[in-house]
Structure 1
């Protein structure tokens, strides 16, 4: 917010003396001097404090996993609509090398990089990923790690896999074998995410039939690297209830959170039909539903001993800024209050957290994480 400063004007009054005109001999008088008024000091304005929001949730330390690893995510942001576009730049600006030091300086610890490998791989065996595209991915990941960030390499927008997983299995496994070989010497702060938001034919009942072969291909060259999996139904929070985990000690569960959808995606033209605008967030009902969802995750942790994280959450960029800020703050604080870390969607393209002037601090200042990583 910007403040208007009002500056008072001091007015000086000039006093004039008058002579006596009685018609007799003029009487001379000694003029009396008028004292110079002391100027009034202009008061120093008091700055208006930046408005803050409070939420009914207090972050705690990150949960400790008794089964599998817990990723030290910290504060995390998605590099949305960049490398998962059909071609980088089709859905907004490309990734710049300078982005990663900027993100690190902004207090973030992790970037999740959605990547459309399937759009750059052959459709016949051996399903070779285009070398120029793979080199670009390598460069981006290396630049991010050199800036001190953790990196999630996420296979994104593999729509063919959702529609025909059996027919795509060999290609899915081959792509992961190539990715794993490329990054076999990457630091252990680089993590693989097998498939973004499984849906349609892919369900929790059959996911392991496709995850396990890809995981085996990864383990040929990356024995202990953390690998992330999400459940069906686009990995929504309810998917945790029946998500089956591979028999692998280095696998981490994830879920996505865009509830209530009618708020987070209102006006988003890429949704058919487009959800109507004018929906607000922050009612007692909204917070009651959010708290109920926290119970779902707490139940999952109690039952499995595993610590999941939110891979995506956010609110569409055309929603009024104050409402977006409330949502990002409420969701991140809420899950941090049960020891769960989260990754906001997204950096500069759609649902953006940065514009041409820098971070949209009305939002990013409210994003919370756990008190430990």
Structure 2
């Protein structure tokens, strides 16, 4: 996700919380007759051929002096080749133009920068990739001020697109233009939603006119138009649908972004698992997207997708739970003929190593491009040290597949002896599990790999654990680290309530705090840090913390805040 992605959490929290308790209403696909002409069908085929897509994030969209200003290396041709070799068919190249644009009235783009963008585009087209370029963080840097500075913003916007359109007018139709990334006007002071929708319509219409009248391939080049904030809420999609209908152009594509059901996406409010609410959010969102656009002949690209917690680190969401999210999302989007583009700011595919930081996640995504994979209710088999051996039953989500075999390394487990399978109930036998933890080492003792007749494998981590132990500590609101002996398990979430009653800390509508924002564990240094963002919204006095671990255990702890001083004691 982009460095300015955190606004999504704040902008959508009220909407998402409301969705948790109210039924969703799908768009009425009968409101507009479907476009069934050949041109619309051809454009849908174009978008289908873009599957799967990848974002070159936090690079040319960086807001500093050059593409390395946010920490990623300069793009190389080898990187583009490697991405194509991973199986990707399209690449979104976010571009921020702001600091590379001259003063009024010409607003001339630095020729060297425009040439650099063209170089990366040409590398991508050379690898037979579909390519999307846009105005990216310009959206919040200056376009957001449109209500107060209407003429100036529109003149600058028009000038930039006039130059881009001229530069690329003879490029292959595999290059598409996106009018603006995540357009929003709240940063500029706009509070009226209708006003924001009207300004976005004005921008999209102006963009369309500039490109279509610029000659060459631009007369029919596919153009990508976003909803307000690229949000898939119904009112905003309806507004974009009205714009597209008004333009009456069969080469227009709608785009939204999706980072999941917010509480799950950041691990807050106890949403640690890929549960019914999270799955239903996918279903409702993209049924509405389909009914609003795709069913009416308007193709859709999810220009960015992922999980918001990845802004902190990819460990915010437990491994098996994130795998289930990505598997199901890919399946549902494919069923609705919607093409997604993975947001990658460098945390997934190494820009110089050309290796995936999480090969299991990549394999799950890659498999989902063509088929469904089987998953399970968990990828964790927790066994307590010293406890009597018992069989462990795990529910499989077969997704139409069948279990073929289970391996421990190169050794195949024996069905009937090491495990049994009854329908979707997989039972690991106590004797086999006991043998796997015979070393007595706390933590992951074995990885059991389940193979299915189709799709990706699923790993079960066999974990020997003991109850975690926390220790007393003195600290401050800027640095408070609780010594923790994790004893083989990992932290799922944390509750915080005042001893006198009421939820403590940020987002006090829930006792369960946001992972990696209010607290974060460190397994290498054996501590749990309570972060400044947590203490910024904690009153003086006693706060009772409950640490919930993935082994099912909970450990209580009390902190006392007095100004900037904090004391922590076990309970």
What TM-score range do you get, normalising by the shorter chain? 0.7 to 0.9
Are 1:255 and 2:252 matched, yes or no? no
Are 1:188 and 2:173 matched, yes or no? yes
Secondary structure of the residue aligned to 2:250 is coil
User: Deviation of residue 363 (structure 1)?
Assistant: 1.4
Distance 1:173 1:369, change over 3 A: farther
State the distance in 2 between where 1:302 and 1:120 align.
36
Aligned residue among 148, 172, 175 for 2:160: 175
Aligned twin of 2:50: 73
Q: Which has the larger radius of gyration?
A: 1
Backbone CA RMSD of aligned residues? 2.5
Aligned twin of 2:143: 161
Aligned twin of 2:206: 213
User: Deviation of residue 281 (structure 1)?
Assistant: 3.7
State the distance in 1 between where 2:182 and 2:297 align.
23
Q: Deviations over 1:171-224 (max 9, x none)?
A: 101100100111111111000001001112473333222222222211222111
Aligned twin of 1:103: 83
Distance 1:353 1:240, change over 3 A: farther
State the distance in 2 between where 1:127 and 1:241 align.
33
Contact 1:336 1:370 in 2 (8 A): no
Aligned twin of 1:323: 321
User: Deviation of residue 293 (structure 1)?
Assistant: 1.8
1:18-29 correspondence runs (5 A)? none
Q: Unpaired runs of 5+ in structure 1?
A: 1-62, 267-275
Are 1:236 and 2:236 matched, yes or no? no
Aligned residue among 151, 176, 196 for 1:203: 196
Alignment length (residue pairs): 298
Contact 2:145 2:153 in 1 (8 A): no
Aligned residue among 297, 304, 313 for 2:296: 304
Secondary structure of the residue aligned to 2:219 is coil
Distance 1:204 1:236, change over 3 A: same
| TM-score computed with the length of structure 1 as normaliser | 0.73
User: Deviation of residue 311 (structure 1)?
Assistant: 0.7
Contact 2:179 2:225 in 1 (8 A): yes
> Which structure is richer in relative contact order (CA contacts within 8 A, separation 6 or more)?
1
Q: Unpaired runs of 5+ in structure 2?
A: 1-33, 372-571
Contact 1:81 1:91 in 2 (8 A): yes
Comparing 137-146 with 94-103, greater Cα deviation is found at: 94-103
Contact 1:100 1:143 in 2 (8 A): yes
State the distance in 1 between where 2:370 and 2:254 align.
18
